Amino acid sequence: MEYVNLLVFAGLTAGVAAVQGMRWSRDRRLRPPECHGGVALPPHPPKVSLLVAAWNEAALLPRHLESFKRLRYPNRELVLCAGGTDGTYALAAASRSEYVVVLEQRPGEGKQRALRQCFEHATGDLFFLTDADCELDDESFEATLAPLLHDGARAVTGGSRPLDRQMKTPFVMQQWYIDRYVRAHWGRTTDGILGRNAAFTRDAIEASGSFQYEAPTGTDYVMAKRLREAGVTILHAPTSQVASEHASDFGTYRKQQSRWLRNVVLHGIRFRVYGEAARGLAPSVLGMVMIVGTPVAVWAGPLSTALAAAAWLFVILNRVRYVRTGERLTGTSLGAPYWQIPLFVLIDFAVWALVLFDYPVKAIRTRW
């Protein structure tokens, strides 16, 4: 029986190695998106309104405002709906100018209603959605706008990267690498938007409902679905990577992942895209199986232990592959030995599994 268990483990290990080998070979063909330098602006660029909902962002808002002021795009305005208990509104109000419109966000209004206010006061022909914890740059801003300016697009979304000061934090970097790995497989169009880096024509926002619908959580997801229902194609801008604050501690990461996964599951059911809802639930189920199932497998005996070990080997090698590919695509480094990667995987499994306990509690289930 001992030899049988060893043979089973050897066979499983060989299978894992074979599958990973094929995927490594495939991923080596991935290339960074071609960057063609700055975007040629039309002689009279249309006005772009940046819409930002800021709640308790006093620590990060000054950098965001400075990054807006540094943009070279000439015809722009920032419409900022700010509030909170940390002086965010006062800080924003002090920055009012010809190009910065400041509105007050009151407790309980939420991001959706704040964006509704922003849109009602905006005077632009094009609109750029971003967050107060983002630091804008010319290349990413213009790369997202380019399909609207030159290709007749109505909706475009780009990606994000960590803030410069987070580029040496391994936990943050591996989050970015996973995102870059996933986006490297995207095509020209996508079904979703990233609310910190997305641009639209006025008629596209109006077709989606002008933010007049309720979305206590999942603003980006709901808007994307309403755009698709209105027949608006969402283009992907692969070279656009707006710098934004990434979760760097367990508590923040836990809340972020819970919010993202809950949005996909709950809104996926609401919009009857059950495949997306199932994919949103899958990480939580996987996390629970790996966290609870591993000690059970070890207790049950050598054969189940071999199965559990093979499963862990597979997911860890997956993460190593994502990280290595992300390093190559971005020209950066994780900044830590690869032996830390299993710890990152364990954190993800724990966080994803905990989301299952959020669904029964309405106050948590619908919380932003």
Based on the domain organization, do 190 and 281 belong to the same domain? Answer: no
pLDDT < 50: residue spans in the chain: none
Based on the domain organization, do 168 and 284 belong to the same domain? Answer: no
Cα–Cα distance measured from residue 353 to residue 200, given in angstroms and rounded to the nearest whole number: 36
Based on the domain organization, do 235 and 199 belong to the same domain? Answer: yes
Q: Are 89 and 82 a contacting pair, CB within 8 Å?
A: yes
* Residue 171 included in any domain: yes
Angle between the 2-27 and 302-330 helix axes, to the nearest 10 degrees?
20
Single residue among 248, 282, 311 that ends a domain in this structure: 248
Single residue among 213, 248, 283 that ends a domain in this structure: 248
Q: Are 110 and 56 a contacting pair, CB within 8 Å?
A: no
**Listed residue (109, 122, 135, 31) closest to 78, CA to CA:** 122
Question: Residue 13's Cα: distance from chain center in Å?
Answer: 33
* Residue 256 included in any domain: no
pLDDT, residue 1, reads: 53
Based on the domain organization, do 136 and 217 belong to the same domain? Answer: yes
- How do residues 151-196 score in pLDDT, each as one tens digit? 999 999 999 999 999 999 999 999 999 999 999 999 999 999 999 9
Phi/psi of residue 85, nearest 5 degrees: -105, 5
Helices (H), 61-201: 61-70, 88-93, 110-121, 138-150, 170-183
Based on the domain organization, do 71 and 126 belong to the same domain? Answer: yes
Question: Residue 328's Cα: distance from chain center in Å?
Answer: 20
* Residue 35 included in any domain: no
Cα–Cα distance measured from residue 259 to residue 347, given in angstroms and rounded to the nearest whole number: 16
Cα–Cα distance measured from residue 225 to residue 141, given in angstroms and rounded to the nearest whole number: 23
Q: Are 330 and 32 a contacting pair, CB within 8 Å?
A: yes
- How do residues 76-106 score in pLDDT, each as one tens digit? 999 999 999 999 999 999 999 999 999 999 9
State the maximum Cα–Cα separation within the chain, in Å, rounded to a whole number. 79
Location of structure tokens 């609401």: 270
Cα–Cα distance measured from residue 130 to residue 156, given in angstroms and rounded to the nearest whole number: 13
* Residue 176 included in any domain: yes
* Residue 255 included in any domain: no
* Residue 41 included in any domain: no
pLDDT, residue 39, reads: 76
**Listed residue (138, 201, 178) closest to 325, CA to CA:** 178
Cα–Cα distance measured from residue 122 to residue 101, given in angstroms and rounded to the nearest whole number: 8
**Listed residue (198, 245, 226, 209) closest to 49, CA to CA:** 198
Cβ burial 252-285 (10 Å sphere, 16+ → b, else e): ebbbebbbbbbbbbbbbeebebeebbeebbebbe
Amino acid at 136: L
Based on the domain organization, do 170 and 52 belong to the same domain? Answer: yes
Q: Tell me, what CATH number does 101's domain have?
A: 3.90.550.10
pLDDT, residue 2, reads: 64
> Which domain range does residue 198 map to?
48-248
Based on the domain organization, do 330 and 214 belong to the same domain? Answer: no
Based on the domain organization, do 209 and 355 belong to the same domain? Answer: no
Phi/psi of residue 57, nearest 5 degrees: -120, 25
- Burial class, 227, CB count within 10 angstroms (exposed 0-12 / middle 13-18 / buried 19+): buried
**Listed residue (180, 132, 126) closest to 158, CA to CA:** 180
Based on the domain organization, do 179 and 211 belong to the same domain? Answer: yes
Based on the domain organization, do 190 and 329 belong to the same domain? Answer: no
Provide the number of structural domains found in the chain.
2
What's the predicted TM-score (pTM) here?
0.92
What DSSP state is assigned to residue 194? -
* Residue 265 included in any domain: no
Single residue among 214, 248, 282 that ends a domain in this structure: 248
Based on the domain organization, do 349 and 241 belong to the same domain? Answer: no
**Listed residue (53, 39, 46) closest to 196, CA to CA:** 53
* Residue 38 included in any domain: no
Q: Are 81 and 103 a contacting pair, CB within 8 Å?
A: yes
Cα–Cα distance measured from residue 143 to residue 149, given in angstroms and rounded to the nearest whole number: 10
Q: Are 78 and 102 a contacting pair, CB within 8 Å?
A: no
Based on the domain organization, do 183 and 225 belong to the same domain? Answer: yes
